[in-house]
Structure 1
Amino acid sequence: MKFLTSTVLVLFYVKNVLTLECYWNTGCKYKYFGSKTPYEIVRGDIRDSFVKTEECKAVSVWTIMRHGKRNPSQSFAHYIQHILKYKDFIVSSYEIGNSSLCAQDIENLKNWNVDLTMLSNPYVITTEGYQETLRLSNRMMETFPELLKKLPEKDYSFLPGFGRHLEVSARAFIEGLNQNLTLENDTNDYQFVAPYTTCGKYQEEVRRNPDIYREEEEYKKTADYLNTKERIERKLGLNFTFSNQDITAIYDLCRYTWDGISDKPSPWCAIFSAEDLQVLEFIDDLRHYYRNAYGVSQYSKIFGQMPLADLMRKFEEAKNGKGKKIVSYFTHATMMDMILVVLNLYKDANPLVGAHRDMNRKWRTTFLSTFASNMIAVLNKCSKYGQNEYYNVAFYWNEKPLLDLCNRGVCSWQEFEDLFKPFLNATIDFCEFKWANVD
């Protein structure tokens, strides 16, 4: 009898452990998905972050931002379509007792239906992505009501880079300002928004060079990654081995179908532990690091100067009473990464490498170049107790103060000039030839 009692107790204990590990009732889910993280998860709020003082008022705002959440590209959609065929196998594996997924997680997966437009319309901005950008401009309108209300055409400039999804994001931003405003057309090969898109040398040596993913491939050979792969396969209890592309496709299903605005997790995320998600997040960091950022600084340091030189020019004009009240550019994650490199921000003491996952790394695409990521610069005109007027510039990244610049994100005009004036000499003459096949 004692033996039976202890057996019951052990089974009861195991059951409770399994229940506590279920995804559906996990109180604090891991929400960080690299560059595909919903903006709502990591953003600040410019209404709270904006540095307000009695003696200063904003006279010009300059922004550059990544497009909102979009559908995956055609190639990634193809792999996602392939992995969807495994959904019934995953459910069947649970029903015959091979899977360690929880009952509710399986039920949520069974009841989930794919949005076919996500797979058939590559790069199209999602409803959530539209709202990400629209709500950002709503908050900016609340922050700078006197500056941004009733904008005549001479007082604004809204310019998207290449891609319909950038144009749609720009239109969402305009809608959030509640005015009948117009977009510009880029006639300068995206020189401020995305100069790398038409740079032949960069496209050949970096974007079309598979060697830039060498560190990522090295990481996929480490025990860190292989253990994650094994955990996923063991958890699902299927009788076949996943390829690395299969793992990526499941990860994409998790992050593309997580609704950040509604804070509604994707049932596909139940397949991963928090540790698994951290491993996959690091892969995204490696990709960005060696394609856009410090791993290719000979390019990123030049391209990133182009929009920042424009910022210098625009604020000089505004300081002289001839500028615009708002200038906004709409770009890609690549450009956001490059701007950070130029400003020497979030640079790790040692380069990221595939041989070792640095748990404390500064370069985290989750917080730097997520969907709708943005840099906001504000030119303030100040006058204190009858003294001479002076200017300062405040910087924000994803609506949070950019604390590592100047005095916790606020630069005197002299500091701003010293930092940004050298960018006026930036040139992309090194490109050698124009890349015509922009994609």
Structure 2
Amino acid sequence: MQILLTVIVLALINYIDSVSSIKTSFIRQHLGSRTPYRFRANKNDSRIKYPGCKDIKIWMVIRHGTRLPSQKDLNAVSSLLELKYEVLWQQEYGKGQLTNEQFNRLQEWRVNIDPDQDSYLTLEGQDEMILLAERMQKRFPSAIKQKYSNKTFLFRYTATQRAQQSARYFTNGLFEKKDAQDIIFAPATRVDTVLRFYKHCDRWLSQVKRNPETYKETRLFGLSRQMNKTLESVSYRLGLSRVLRLETVELMYKFCGYETSWDKHHISPWCYAFDEDSMQMLEYYHDLKAYWLDGYGHELSYRQACMSIKNMFEFFDKRDGYQSIFMFSHSGTILKVLTHMKLYQPSSPLRGDAIVKDRPWKLSEIDSFAANLAFVLFRCKDGDHVLTLHQERIIKLPMCKHELCPLKHLKEYFHDSIYKCDYTDMCSLQPNSTNVQVENN
């Protein structure tokens, strides 16, 4: 009897551990744009070769690595601290669904971040950059030399600490320590129409970012019956007698992402508030906003990314000069460039009346911390070809028949992006221009 009881207890423990592990694994896959790159990176760093071809150039845009919360999120931390004590109080009275371990971890939770270091690159972000660089160099040793020269390498970053430090640690992964100390970085400028074109595009700022219509579907979803049930579910799991506001639950979701990204061994205690359904609801809420702000929702959002695409084609056309260009930027740049390249487009526009679970537009997968997009030029016997990698994985561009796509074909397809990309004309506010084209297919 004693043996049977022991077996049952051990089986129960294993089952609980298994369920907990599944939940943890699920949470890590649905953190949106705060997903750490270690959950997305392609660890296979074998050299990528094609018969009769040689990699000769690489142009790569990289989102900065895992960072600390923004100033806005840090300013809201006090509300989470108050909520923490309310939840712990309810748990003491037997309410809520936290386990003893989860209760203890929430009890220990605190944020000790210098407000002056908002959005700074974290240790995890440093590791992401070093490892990414090492893997890319192994894949393309001809295009990415092991010996540094300012005549063959160009490194650019935006005027932010997280982008500058991402560039610095990326070079630490490429070169020996003595060489890495001598790297020359292109000076960061306040206005950079290649790395962060949207920040100073007046028409986009006016007609898209500051336009209430851009957020119509996001607001609709936030007020939906599905979202109201999610808020009730989260509040119930925490043992609260009231229903939390969406802004509070969204902040919990953000810190679930931030803190899970920083810590390789544990998820954030705020993740305990979510089950699989509620996690997917918050993920979609953020995907929906990004779709209409940075993606296919408005034509101008992705059209202005021609500034980056033109830079890439001009680089490939030059017969001398740099072999490798690495640019360190932000989520807004990555998403707009991906959209310009016709990648991850849903079959129909994302709407706020119902969640679309099988959508290709998922920030958790396409826009994690350290998200990256690389174009590699191969010189082949039958001409120049371009290989595209997203998150270090080879992808076939929609306008190409094969993954290794003829440069000539791409230049024809993106003719307007190369030769009709007038930033001043595209981004200046016209006196009679009040509408912006919306994607309807």
User: TM-score of the superposition, structure 1-length normalised?
Assistant: 0.87
Alignment match of 1:345 (pick from 343, 346, 354): 343
Which amino acid is the alignment partner of residue 364 of structure 1? K
What corresponds to 2:367 in structure 1? 369
Alignment match of 1:394 (pick from 384, 387, 391): 387
What corresponds to 1:432 in structure 2? 428
What is the distance in 2 between the residues matched to 1:120 and 1:184?
A: 25
Which amino acid is the alignment partner of residue 330 of structure 1? F
Q: Specify the SS of the correspondent of 1:150.
A: coil
Q: Specify the SS of the correspondent of 2:325.
A: strand
Alignment match of 1:272 (pick from 271, 274, 279): 274
What corresponds to 1:245 in structure 2? 247
Change (3 A) 1:65 1:202: same
What corresponds to 2:333 in structure 1? 335
What is the distance in 1 between the residues matched to 2:158 and 2:342?
A: 24
What is the distance in 2 between the residues matched to 1:80 and 1:408?
A: 49
What corresponds to 2:236 in structure 1? 234
What is the distance in 1 between the residues matched to 2:428 and 2:26?
A: 48
| % identical equivalent positions | 24
Change (3 A) 1:17 1:133: closer
What corresponds to 2:257 in structure 1? 255
Alignment match of 1:415 (pick from 389, 398, 409): 409
What is the distance in 1 between the residues matched to 2:48 and 2:140?
A: 12
Alignment match of 1:354 (pick from 349, 352, 358): 352
Is the Cα contact below 8 Å between 1:24 and 1:104 reproduced in 2?
Answer: no
Is the Cα contact below 8 Å between 1:57 and 1:381 reproduced in 2?
Answer: yes
Is the Cα contact below 8 Å between 1:396 and 1:409 reproduced in 2?
Answer: no
What corresponds to 1:206 in structure 2? 208
What is the distance in 2 between the residues matched to 1:21 and 1:220?
A: 33
Alignment match of 1:132 (pick from 118, 124, 128): 128
Is the Cα contact below 8 Å between 1:40 and 1:260 reproduced in 2?
Answer: no
Is the Cα contact below 8 Å between 2:199 and 2:205 reproduced in 1?
Answer: yes
Which amino acid is the alignment partner of residue 203 of structure 1? L
What is the distance in 1 between the residues matched to 2:240 and 2:146?
A: 59
**TM-superposition CA deviations, 1:37-88 (whole Å, max 9, x none):** 111112224624x631342221111101111111222112222332122212
What corresponds to 2:317 in structure 1? 316
What is the distance in 2 between the residues matched to 1:65 and 1:138?
A: 14
Q: Specify the SS of the correspondent of 1:259.
A: helix
**Where do 1:5-154 residues align within 5 Å?**
19=16, 23=20, 26=23, 28-31=25-28, 32-45=30-43, 47-48=45-46, 51-117=48-114, 121-146=117-142, 147-154=144-151
What corresponds to 2:3 in structure 1? none
What is the distance in 1 between the residues matched to 2:16 and 2:302?
A: 50
Is the Cα contact below 8 Å between 1:19 and 1:102 reproduced in 2?
Answer: no
TM-superposed deviation, 1:164: 2.2
| Aligned-residue RMSD, C-alpha | 2.5
Q: Specify the SS of the correspondent of 1:91.
A: helix
What corresponds to 2:217 in structure 1? 215
Q: Specify the SS of the correspondent of 1:63.
A: strand
Q: Specify the SS of the correspondent of 2:388.
A: strand
TM-superposed deviation, 1:304: 1.3
What corresponds to 1:5 in structure 2? none
Change (3 A) 1:241 1:433: same
Q: Specify the SS of the correspondent of 2:375.
A: strand
What is the distance in 2 between the residues matched to 1:22 and 1:401?
A: 33
Which amino acid is the alignment partner of residue 313 of structure 1? E
Gaps of 5+ in 1: 1-11, 384-388, 435-439
Pairs aligned (count): 410
**TM-superposition CA deviations, 1:123-168 (whole Å, max 9, x none):** 1111111221221112122223344221321111111123222111
Which amino acid is the alignment partner of residue 131 of structure 1? D
**Where do 1:377-392 residues align within 5 Å?**
377-383=375-381, 390-392=383-385
What corresponds to 2:434 in structure 1? none
**TM-superposition CA deviations, 1:245-273 (whole Å, max 9, x none):** 11011111211100377253222211110
TM-superposed deviation, 1:19: 4.6
Is the Cα contact below 8 Å between 1:46 and 1:399 reproduced in 2?
Answer: no
What is the distance in 2 between the residues matched to 1:260 and 1:415?
A: 42
**Where do 1:169-184 residues align within 5 Å?**
169-178=166-175, 179=180, 180-184=182-186
TM-superposed deviation, 1:20: 7.0
Is the Cα contact below 8 Å between 1:315 and 1:323 reproduced in 2?
Answer: no
What corresponds to 1:166 in structure 2? 163
TM-superposed deviation, 1:412: 1.7
What is the distance in 2 between the residues matched to 1:272 and 1:207?
A: 30
**TM-superposition CA deviations, 1:3-25 (whole Å, max 9, x none):** xxxxxxxxx9xx99995797477
What is the distance in 1 between the residues matched to 2:239 and 2:387?
A: 53
TM-superposed deviation, 1:353: 0.7
338-347 or 136-145: bigger deviation:
136-145
Is the Cα contact below 8 Å between 1:80 and 1:252 reproduced in 2?
Answer: no
Change (3 A) 1:17 1:27: same
TM-superposed deviation, 1:207: 2.2
